[in-house]
Chain A
Amino acid sequence: MTSIRVVPKGGRGLPVEVNLDTQLGTLALPSPILTASGCAASGKELSQFVDLTTIGAVVTKSIMMLPRSGRATPRMAETPSGMLNSIGLQGPGVDDFLEHDVPWLASKGVRTIVSIAGNDVEEFGRLAARVRRAGDSVIALEVNISCPNVANRGLVFACQAHSAAEVISTVRRNVGGAFPIFAKLSPDVTDIVEIAQACVDAGATGLSLINTLLGMVINTETLKPALAGVTGGLSGPAIRPVAVRAVWQVHAALPKVPLIGMGGILTGEDAFEFILAGASAIAIGTANFHDPSALTRVQNELTQILAERGFSSLQDAIGFAHRKV
């Protein structure tokens, strides 16, 4: 248990203890702050700016079975209060990842959640089995069934309840019993609660909400799409209300299911909003790009705002906005 003493602003100046411990099913973390997959690589670069052992966990960039080049450039376009990316899951493949990245994170004592992405259900299963054997530093799996940067929209498993459930039950079979797995969902669906329910029924411990929204920008000088991949994933503060809504709806329907909230979190106050909506942990993505110390800053700001609002424990604030008055 970590307790941090803070003086609430406007309070009488007496320091109060704020306990940031959180619980995601069987997974206990000393802080609710995580990195968002694909926005922290495998931690090494950010470790120059943040002591990664002080946050809840690093969620690594979604890894696939084989090396993957990703898409052509331009891969990024700036948008109002956010950005579009079409990276296309560039990565070294699971062998290289397990040989270099996971051991590095383990050697630094960083709690690691590995994000996996497969081209088909079977690849998800094989990846899950490989990563499960990677050692104790890997404390959970995040199953990315919602990457928008694939040529075939039919491959966005999180767009349909039955295909999402098929991936999750295959992953569950491959990791066995109680190992924590989180299904990462897309907001680009009619009813996210239906998909969430299907994933939980298929064996997901919890859910990560949300991946990017599919978007597009046209360059008005070249008269062509701004991204080489034409469409891309929208992230940053522009999507925060969508993400808070997704967390709210899923928490309302499935109050016992642990949620990792993300989408446009820049400050501790933003993180607090997701916690009030029902998230037990939050992840920071795009904010790392302009502020590589964002993880530490948001953690400090969140502690401060919890104290100011009279919460001595993070757990008491989870889903607080749902209470009936």
Chain B
Amino acid sequence: MVISAHGPGTRWLAALAPHQMLDVVGPLGRPFPLPKDPVHALLVGGGYGSAPLFMLADALRQRGCRVDMALGAASAERLFGALEARRVTNALSIATDDGSLGVQGRVTDAARSILERSNIDVIYACGPMPMLAALSTLGAEFDVMVQCAVEESMACGIGICMTCVLPVRGSDGVVRMSRSCVDGPIFAGDRVLWESIGTVPEETLGAPKASGH
């Protein structure tokens, strides 16, 4: 379990001693979809967003996939799991904003150079929303599907409160405010209206009229 001690709840979790008992509910939501064929996958993680990628890399390699990974963060100490990443991947690129580990630059630039030199079939990504948005654009440019694990603040995690929504276009073409806890957290990058997160886009089903809600 990887926890970023951000607020009171996560600080409490991080302060627990080994062998203390915890109630855990799961698994929740939709997992990363796994390919049937032994494809060439690129896994991209930003900051602690690398956390879910290691198990994914294991699962992909068990299916005979080739796994490249690109990890990025502001600095070396913000980057989670660089050593683990080396163990579970075929090739690893690291980018930090300050150059304290790997190359200096953005992880999306690292991803671009991998896309340019290899024949990537699918991208899996987890990290901050701007990174996921940039990767989705990159995926469209290279005609590669991007599976994104999003992070929204959640009150319940089980689909009953509607706090964790973001605008997503369904297979019927209709934009809805979808729950990231149960309809996600994995969304296809080309379905999310990234630039509209934090707003209700006008075309959303049931969006407020000019008079407001």
Mark A residues whose CB is within 8 Å of B.
38-41, 45-46, 48-49, 61, 66-76, 78, 83, 85, 87-91, 93, 149-152, 228, 288-292
Contacts and interface: CB of A to CB of B under 8 A. Distances in A.
B156 A73 contact: no
Interface string B36-54: 0000000000000000000
Contacts, number: 99
A69 B177 contact: yes
A228 B162 contact: no
B198 A76 contact: no
A88 B162 CA distance: 10
Contacts of B156: 288-290, 292
How extensive is the interface on chain B, given as a class? 20 to 34
B206 A85 contact: no
Given A75-B163, A89-B213, A292-B25, A45 B158 contact: yes
A49 B159 CA distance: 12
A72 B163 contact: no
Contacts of A45: 158-160, 182
Given A78-B7, A150-B213, A67 B199 contact: no
Interface of B: 7-8, 23, 25, 152-153, 155-166, 176-177, 182, 197-200, 204-208, 211-213
Given A45-B182, A292-B25, A87 B162 contact: yes
Nearest to B25: A292
A291 B7 CA distance: 19
A93 B206 contact: yes
A75 B162 contact: yes
Nearest to A76: B163
Given A49-B158, A85-B163, 8 more contacts: A39-B161, A68-B206, A69-B176, A69-B200, A69-B205, A70-B206, A75-B165, A288-B156
A149 B199 contact: no
Given A78-B7, A150-B213, A70 B165 contact: yes
Contacts of B7: 78
A139 to B, nearest CB: 21
The 7 closest A-B pairs by CB, nearest first: A67-B206, A151-B212, A76-B163, A289-B156, A68-B206, A45-B159, A69-B206
B21 to A, nearest CB: 15
A70 B175 CA distance: 13
A78 B8 CA distance: 10
A151 B200 CA distance: 15
Nearest to A147: B213
A149 B213 CA distance: 8
B153 A289 contact: no
A76 B155 CA distance: 7
A67 B205 contact: yes
Contacts of B155: 76, 83, 85, 289
A85 B156 CA distance: 12
Contacts of B207: 69
Contacts of A88: 213
Contacts of A152: 212
A39 B155 CA distance: 10
A310 B162 CA distance: 41
A70 B182 contact: no
Contacts of B152: 73
29 contacts: A40-B160, A41-B162, A46-B158, A68-B213, A69-B177, A69-B200, A69-B204, A69-B207, A70-B213, A71-B213, A72-B199, A72-B200, A73-B164, A74-B198, A75-B162, A75-B163, A76-B161, A78-B8, A85-B161, A87-B161, A90-B165, A90-B206, A150-B213, A228-B198, A228-B199, A288-B156, A291-B23, A292-B25, A292-B160
A71 B200 contact: yes
A73 B165 contact: yes
Contacts of A291: 23
Contacts of A49: 25, 158
Given A90-B165, A151-B212, A292-B25, A70 B200 contact: yes
A290 B212 CA distance: 32
Contacts of B198: 72-74, 228
Contact of A41 (B8, B160, B177): B160
B177 A70 contact: yes
Contacts of A39: 160-161
A71 to B, nearest CB: 6
B6 to A, nearest CB: 11
Given A41-B160, A46-B160, A69-B207, A76 B213 contact: no
A149 B161 CA distance: 14
